[in-house]
Structure 1
């Protein structure tokens, strides 16, 4: 059992205890790593330890449990054994990734205080031109210190925003700002107060540090300021505030940029609450003589414009484009340049060319200093970056940087500039404007430093801005031209000259008022004001708060969770000084995580309620940056660049950089809503998932779908998918695995390429019948699944599986690349479908290697289906455990996989168990006969608790499905793909055909049902399966069960004769439909069937239940899976099937069904499809009953799924209006009926008086607001 790390990492200070561990690398045959658009062949070894990236090459990794924190710097390598390799053995492994000696790394990997050690080593080296692979090695290491300490934690406290009146303003650069009385009044600050009470809070405009243990305030921090004229206690018109503000620009090493990724504004907050505010203190000059004299400083300047994200991925944005205009100039000025000191120059660029190599020349003041080269790009690499970085001597203070792009005669090639930065040494001479200065040498030389500023007559002060919250000042009291001051050396410091010649002016938004809030102080409080641990946090934009609260309440009701909803604005105000920095969200979550009453009670779930985008600053049209997402610095590769919500769920102090060993502590999910209306629709679906109408035997189904085999290595797609289906059924026998192997269907050549129309239909039909999980493994992309387009965006929008929403698992390339709002994906449409689609997705946002997909799928299902247990985690928790598993944790591509949905939602697994107890009144243990064709069978069973106790108080309905023997099948080898000359064929088994599906009443825990075994069973005797599902009456509780003990086969030669086919009655949309009536384009067929011996669903050749529209017998609709016998009556049953997008006009539908004796019958119905998006049609207007005394209903058929406004006006025969009735039809995605009975009348007038007997006229008006159309019809009624 793992030891829990119960103390902060800071407290681990063990003595070094030496540990030793041996490793063996089991090398295998070379492996093909393939995405949808690229492949590479590399050496391989045990997949549990295998990792590859284009940047690092091959990596061997291992993860093992430890009892303590390891000293990451103590690792030593020994006893390394090698085997020589030839260049041919390396296959396509990039030689640039092979080091000269093993590169070893040991890191701590922590999962909710479970401590593990994570090791990486480069398994192939280049030893003086000889390539070698490691076969075994030993590492020695010690327990002990960490490289960082846990600084960034805070106990529960109130926010400064919790009381007082607050207003805010912003700055756009760093420096000395002057706030006048007039400006403060303009933002709403009451200046009729003692100015000594004025306080300014803010944490500056720099991006928050990503490291969890790096200090950043958990609240707004008061800044030391200076108020000129405050001494008299009155804020006069000529009084003003001076203070140092940190702007949003400046180099950020974490993101390699000079511009804040999230905002161009740096906010500061003003209040007059409380006593006197913080004021600047003087610098305490040391008395000692200086040990270092400084009269120069390093001046850092940059040019950077963020306008274009080249691949629409990652954090890196570019400015100038080089095409026809292939030369561009950029100027810098360094007054009083110290030319003897080299300047550090950096230029970051990129090139895009698909056919030729291109280049960029860099010239400084006319001299060529470098030529950057760009390689030809090809998917998955969408651009090639190149950086120049060197020290150069600048000949003059004015610097001209010229960039010349050479497209190598390729007009479709482009060059781009990210930024240019130059750090040069200048004399510390004042030139009339603010100077921020530093000297790196000072930090390296402890002692006393004396700074000398020349030409300083107009410098009134110098501020030490090293600590931006506690700025200190020293006065140039005599306005000396040569201003000198001393300070302590040995630490890095920054200073700022202050002159009344150059104050910056603050800026304001339209809304400057800030309401009181107190996340930190109140988030743990329950309704009684008492401390209560938090299970679940939902982070939402203000516009989405209503739906976020709905989701919170659903989870309180269903799972008894303590859920808190927090708005983004509140988080930003309190945790990032008003800037929309993603780390503020992480820090808020970490605050809650760290302050739980115990490790076991820490927050478990985080929901990011809203869509996201690669554009944090709304530069692109129709942007969807609702709740921001983490982006990688890598911005060119679809395999190594990624977005992730994992960043918000990594809470340990050694995490934050999204390193490969980091493990999730919180299950994170995202509600992918791009509008408030979409948010409502998605919460409606979640609510519907728990509704009573969602209970059904579909919860026993699991669909697996595989891609076909276009190349020999792709056999792994079929094999993995098939194995998953079998493994899940073995682990959870109540699950019925439905296998759809694409290559088991006939491929068809079309003008658009190879297609599988039968697979397309099979997938949609299986989803509409219902399944708890749909798992696809194969190629895919933004437009759908498989190169043969077996499931497209249109399919995702068309499927209608209301209240039977599955989890979609699509570990395939870019199926849900949702961060580009300008290109919607099949995954988004699958999730957004209001009439069906998915309840959640475990899905990918970038291209993923198939080998990683194999490992991911194999591990995921162990957690998702909770092998060995009936305690199921939430879907998001299953994904968290998968990413933390030692078989997956070492893959950087694990972060490509997302959970889209409510992270607290569990799959609707029924509880165990339902037991088959007898057949034909013979106890099951004594029943040895097979179920023969045409046998009349009675099965009996009972409901048990999970522990096996009989539940005598259980009452409800059980659904029983009896399956024939498993069926041995083969794929077809459609693409003639061979392996060593042999056609690749997959042999697999599917569940047997359905012999009977019906329902029975459960009374006091017991039930029985009867049926006749169809003639079409397989004659050889073998094991079948009975699948059970039960729903308890008046209680939202269900159970599942199974039995494999039955034998099926043979034929009953003495069965009674039956030569009469079934009776069939057809309707469209509802049972009031009359043949020839109108429907919309997606009508639902309702068929009632009756036969003395029951209906055949065993799928014998030619004996399917089929629907034919307009005589098109080449495209029948197979409806076996949609039929179900009635409760306690195997002789009667019904089916319903929703058609998709039928053409307008008159249609004839013919249904053919067979009884179990293979007698057939047919029935026909006509219906008129009217386009609901073009016209509104009503027919069959009547009132019932008619004549009536005191109650009648007004009926009509219509073709709309909208909510329609209905008005009925009743007139006397002379035309006098006696009553007006208004109402609406029941509409929405769950409604299939075209009949309205929504208006009723009691025979009284508008004043409630009974009107006289006789004949009356009524006018029925129906209006569609969406179409802006109205129709009406006049009929008669009679009152008795």
Structure 2
């Protein structure tokens, strides 16, 4: 492969870790706009701290840094200079470069900057330009030299994607005029070279003229009138022209095509003005092939075709010299470099060997530093570097994306310890901020393809192509290259966003005790296209069920939910609600397959960006995988993608996303998702993989040219999924009566389960593990069917029947659980699933385990229990009536006791644990009920009841035990005062105080969306502090308010008495209430 290591590369790189022989702080940066000879005077050097010109060295690179990882790019590249008298002269490039060869002209426009920076520094023996003697042989009188002028505008990026920019559109009847004023003294053909692009649904032409003289005409084929068809046709022109009077004052471009939206565009053009040996003056001259030149003793003449090895010719020994590119200049006219600023290219001096490298903008450095501190506490060796530091050390001060990649490669090649890179800051396709909008803080790689919606892309994968020879990354399958490390991005645009995401990461990693519901993987599938999305989800779900039975698969297939039609549009409010509920309860992974765009999932809009604002706080965030189009288009300065909104949503949304930034094919989605599903729970040497490793392996195993490069990891690549590190090994499943092993779990059978906590890598028993466990037993999967709304009904299997769920204590690494198999199971024999999760209440360590026992049949001689469950309700903490409350939403908890345990299977119709309010449909509580204290005979449920009415309400609780006995309990609840927003109680503490005061309020609109405002006034009425919050699904007791006296939003108060006012307003009916009081500051 092209990126194999070469011997010279290794040898050169080994020398890079020796310290440079000059002080790293003695560097200065300056810029050029055009190529040419520049100078620094002895006087100027002295002002900068140089003892003399003999220790001044120059460093830089002509144009953009190369994409290919090369060993010589790991060090500063020195440019030879020539000292003459009290000046030091050197030939420098401008930002844009041109190559002239027998193969033609090749123009490279700098993507990242309109100027080019270089460094000067102090060195003991700097490189100097050698002087070569000319000879006296005759020169070639027919030799032609060209002086080139280039022109390019960057006004239009057709797809807002890719690296190619064009002029403004040239419509029918319009022209683009470029004034030049070029003249030649030689009557020789001129070169006119460039590239044009046309957009038209019919064939079109573009003309190149000077005045009214036609210089050339290019024909373009039509483009397809389709969403994903190419958006333009390009053509290169390479003309030889003979302008009248050897004068070219203007080039004009016109377009001819049909349709008001049709247009032509200029990419760039180059004019080569011819000169013969006899009329060369000061300037830069080139030829296709090396030729002879006649030296003029009035000028300095350098051969500069090899930028890093120029040669100065001495005309004293002859007048003829051989070369390909010449710069002829008068030393007295050479521009002195200016606007130098001190820089510190010292990153090579660092001996850090981080596992995680955070690269960020200086604007976000404080957030990156905060994250580094957290990561170090978590045992992840972390370094933070800013883009400016990298540009100075590896880009000579230029904002070149390749400098960042080279720095990462330098770290990687040093000791191979780096595992992940986090890019903290937004990157856009608009490197030079031509279009405005959101900032480009940490640049992202953009494709060469800029006109095809399906193969243009932006990708951070490029930063992972860091082995020798990698980085060319041609946009084809043959050009695919594997990532060496994980790369993720947090596309924050300011401190607030960066800090919110850092807080999310910290909470995710430092809140280890997660609910058992977060051990599920949720598949969300669209309903169109002949069920292809459901079929894909089923394939992925089947793999997880077979290979990772410890995780429950939840199937939120859109076609499972009723849809509502309005005109030609459909909506799915039940599916939308189910998604919101899943995210609120917690799921480990949310994997979406189907149609989408930058802001929406599915045509039915089961997710839209505005939905986020109405989601309740989510304690356990999910990793989102979105196999859809453009959901994660994070490189636009204009469009704010849904993926970005999910990342930066406060206390909800996503902890990370594997998402797409461009249109994608479902087949490519499936291939990548298939690899992801296989990688996500795979362990490496007994350890769970980081997001970065999962992403790297997923991408490397699903390479497909440009088609999968727009999949991005938006998130911290060093994060690991919140999966327990320890294993719960089930040691025995026995019959509760006989004590014999139970190879089959039968209806009416009491089961005793024993398990122990072990280290899965060493199999060592964890005797110090003490805490709690939760066990869940499910019957064999049942066959379900979609509704067939847009495609035919589709059958699939789901673990729907819950046999038992209970909680208990685990001591000294051992647990014992008892449960009774209900009569409500499928009597056919087959494998069910038994899952256990345990957590150490002191250390936070968790363990997980599972087994797939055979379930079926009936236990002979069942118990003779004939009494239904005892029900003991508690309403809003109140155990006995009368029940009078001011809110239409109440919390109800009920303790249930029965010698046979409570039936929660739902297999037998009508025998569900349920609660009913008035005449509403019963609410099924099977999944909510939890047996307690390791005893299946008693347990409880807790639920919030919505929709109670002002006045008297009836509540009916119905419960069945596992052998078929029923009991019910009816309650009367009166709601009074719910029509008005009420603050029922509030507290201010400490009060009196000297630093801060905290506020708590209790209100009568729990579960509703409210707006809360706190204001603090002086006794004269001057407002000192004000803060507002939007409370989504507000809890009954709100305690998020504090007044910190010294914070920036406060006018610092003196000691004394102040007035506070708390106000609540409902978003549904705009009713409001307020309270006020005094705060004493002492």
TM-score, normalised relative to structure 2: 0.83
Counterpart check, 1:580 vs 2:399:
yes
Instruction: Work out which of the residue numbers 999, 1013, 1038 in structure 1 matches 2:846.
Output: 1038
Q: CA deviation at 1:740?
A: 2.4
Alignment match, 2:59: 202
Structure-1 residue corresponding to 2:688: 872
Partners in 2 of 1:726 and 1:176 — Cα distance?
Answer: 68
Within the alignment, does 1:441 sit opposite 2:289 as a pair? yes
Task: Give the Cα–Cα distance (whole angstroms) in 2 for the partners of residues 763 and 404 of structure 1.
Answer: 54
C-alpha contact 2:829 2:854 (8 A) present in aligned 1: no
Aligned length: 1023
Indicate yes or no: 2:776 matched with 1:956.
Answer: no
The 1:1230–1:517 alpha-carbon spacing in structure 2 relative to 1, beyond 3 Å, is: farther
Contact residue 600 and residue 631 of structure 2 kept, 8 A: yes
**Cα offsets for 1:545-594 (capped at 9, x unmatched):** 22223333333333x33322221111100111100111101111111222
Indicate the SS of the match to 2:193: strand
Of 1058, 1061, 1065, the residue aligned with 2:874 is: 1065
Say if 1:675 and 1:1150 are closer, same or farther in 2 by CA, change over 3 A. farther
Q: Deviations over 1:975-997 (max 9, x none)?
A: 2x4xxxxxx44322111332332
Q: Give the conservation status (yes or no) of the 8 Å contact 2:303–2:327.
A: yes
Q: Unaligned regions of 5+ residues in structure 2, if any?
A: 878-882, 992-996, 1020-1024, 1044-1055, 1067-1071
Deviation at 1:657, TM superposition (A): 1.1
Please state how far the C-alpha of 1:306 moved relative to its aligned partner: 0.7
> Offset at 1:1276?
14
Pick closer, same or farther for the CA change 1:869–1:1045 going to 2, 3 Å. farther
Is 1:402 the equivalent of 2:252? Answer: yes
Alignment of structure 1 residues 258-277 onto 2, 5 Å: 258-271=108-121, 273=122
Q: Where do 5+ consecutive residues of structure 1 fail to align?
A: 1-106, 114-144, 231-239, 443-448, 478-482, 526-532, 978-983, 1069-1073, 1187-1191, 1210-1214, 1216-1221, 1241-1256
Q: Distance in 1 between matches of 2:237 and 2:998?
A: 83
Is residue 2:234 matched to residue 1:391?
Answer: no
2:296 paired with 1:451: no
The aligned counterpart of 1:413 is 262
1:740 matched to 2:740:
no
Partners in 2 of 1:1231 and 1:691 — Cα distance? 25
1:311 is paired with a residue whose SS is coil
| 1:422 match | 271
Residue 1060 of structure 1 and its aligned partner are, at CA, apart by: 6.3
Alpha-carbon distance, 1:325 to partner:
5.6
Task: Determine the structure 2 residue equivalent to 1:118.
Answer: none
Alpha-carbon distance between aligned partners in 2 of 1:1004 and 1:255, rounded to the nearest angstrom: 77
Counterparts of 1:621 and 1:798, CA distance in 2? 31
Q: Go from structure 1 to structure 2 and tell me whether the alpha carbon gap of 1:1226 and 1:827 turns closer, same or farther (over 3 Å shift).
A: closer
Compute the displacement of 1:930 (Å).
Answer: 4.2
Q: Which residue of the partner structure matches residue 546 of structure 1?
A: 366
Q: Secondary structure at the match of 2:497?
A: helix
Local SS of the residue matching 2:584 = helix
Provide the C-alpha distance between the structure 2 equivalents of 1:470 and 1:837, rounded to a whole number of angstroms. Answer: 56
The equivalent position to 1:250 in structure 2, one of 97, 110, 120, is 97
Q: Which residue of the partner structure matches residue 467 of structure 2?
A: 652
Partner Cα distance (2:919, 2:80) in 1: 79
**TM-aligned CA distance change 1:880 to 1:1228, over 3 Å:** farther
2:865 is matched with which residue?
Answer: 1056
Structure 1 residues 308 and 198, CA gap change in structure 2 (3 angstroms)? farther
| Residue aligning to 1:521 | 349
Q: Equivalent residue for 2:805? A: 997
**Closer, same or farther: CA 789–895 of 1 in aligned 2, 3 Å:** same
2:599 is the alignment partner of 1:792: no
* Contact 1:611 1:674 survives alignment (8 Å): yes
Counterparts of 1:579-728 in structure 2, within 5 Å, are 579-596=398-415, 601-659=416-474, 660-692=479-511, 694-711=513-530, 715-728=531-544
Match of 1:765 in 2: 581
Q: What TM-score, normalized to structure 1?
A: 0.71
Query: CA deviation digits over 1:990-1043, x for unaligned, max 9?
Result: 113323323110012332345565675446565432210011231132111112
Q: Distance in 1 between matches of 2:669 and 2:856?
A: 38
Q: Report matched runs for 1:875-954 at 5 Å.
A: 875-885=691-701, 888-910=702-724, 911-915=726-730, 917-919=732-734, 921=736, 926-927=741-742, 930-932=745-747, 939-946=753-760, 950-954=765-769
1:362-511 → structure 2 map (5 Å cutoff)? 362-363=208-209, 366-367=213-214, 369-373=216-220, 374-381=222-229, 383-396=231-244, 397-399=246-248, 400-408=250-258, 410-428=259-277, 434-442=282-290, 450-452=292-294, 459-468=298-307, 471-474=310-313, 485-488=319-322, 493-499=324-330, 502-504=333-335, 506=337, 508=339
What is the match of residue 965 of structure 1? 780
* Counterpart secondary structure, 1:780: coil
* Matched ranges for 1:156-305 at <5 A: 156-158=17-19, 163-177=24-38, 190=47, 194-196=51-53, 199=56, 201-204=58-61, 206-213=63-70, 215-216=72-73, 218-219=75-76, 221=78, 223-226=80-83, 228=85, 230=86, 242-251=89-98, 258-271=108-121, 273=122, 278=126, 281=129, 283-287=131-135, 289=137, 295-305=143-153
Give the Å deviation of 1:730.
Answer: 1.0
Contact 2:151 2:270 in 1 (8 A): yes
1:1026 is matched with which residue: 834, 856, 876?
Answer: 834
Q: Deviations over 1:676-725 (max 9, x none)?
A: 221111111111112235433234311122222434xxx44322211211
Deviation at 1:285, TM superposition (A): 1.7
Contact 1:200 1:268 in 2 (8 A): no
Is the 2:524–2:556 Cα contact (8 Å) retained in structure 1?
A: yes
Alignment of 1:116-131 (within 5 A): none
Q: Is the 8 A contact 2:183 2:273 kept in 1?
A: no
Q: Contact 1:1087–1:1135 at 8 Å: present in 2 too?
A: yes
Q: Secondary structure at the match of 2:183?
A: coil
Cα distance, 1:763 vs structure 2: 2.6
Deviates more, 1:333-342 or 1:574-583: 333-342
Flag the 1:393–1:292 CA change in 2: closer, same or farther, 3 A: same
Partner of 1:965, secondary structure, is coil
Q: How far apart are residue 905 of structure 1 and its match?
A: 1.9
1:866/1:873 contact within 8 Å kept? yes
Query: Map of 1:1129-1144 to 2, 5 A cutoff?
Result: 1131-1135=938-942
* 2-structure distance, mates of 1:319, 1:869: 54
Superposition deviation, residue 259 in structure 1? 2.9
In the superposition, relative to structure 1, how do residues 1276 and 175 fare at CA in structure 2: closer, same or farther (>3 Å)?
A: closer
Instruction: Compute the RMSD of aligned alpha carbons.
Output: 4.7
Q: Residue 829 in 1 paired to residue 645 in 2?
A: yes
Output the CA distance in 2 between the equivalents of 1:1000 and 1:553: 37
Change beyond 3 A, Cα 1:1010–1:330: same
Matched-pair contact (CA < 8 Å) for 2:750–2:818: yes
Counterpart-to-counterpart distance in 1, 2:227 and 2:976: 50
SS at match of 1:894: coil
State the distance in 1 between where 2:392 and 2:22 align.
9
- Displacement, 1:1162? 6.7
Which of 868-877 and 577-586 deviates more?
A: 868-877
* Partner Cα separation in structure 2 for residue 109 and residue 1185 of structure 1: 66
Instruction: Please tell me whether residue 1261 in structure 1 is matched to residue 1060 in structure 2.
Output: yes
2: CA distance between counterparts of 1:172 and 1:1194?
A: 60
Q: More deviation in 816-825 or 577-586?
A: 816-825
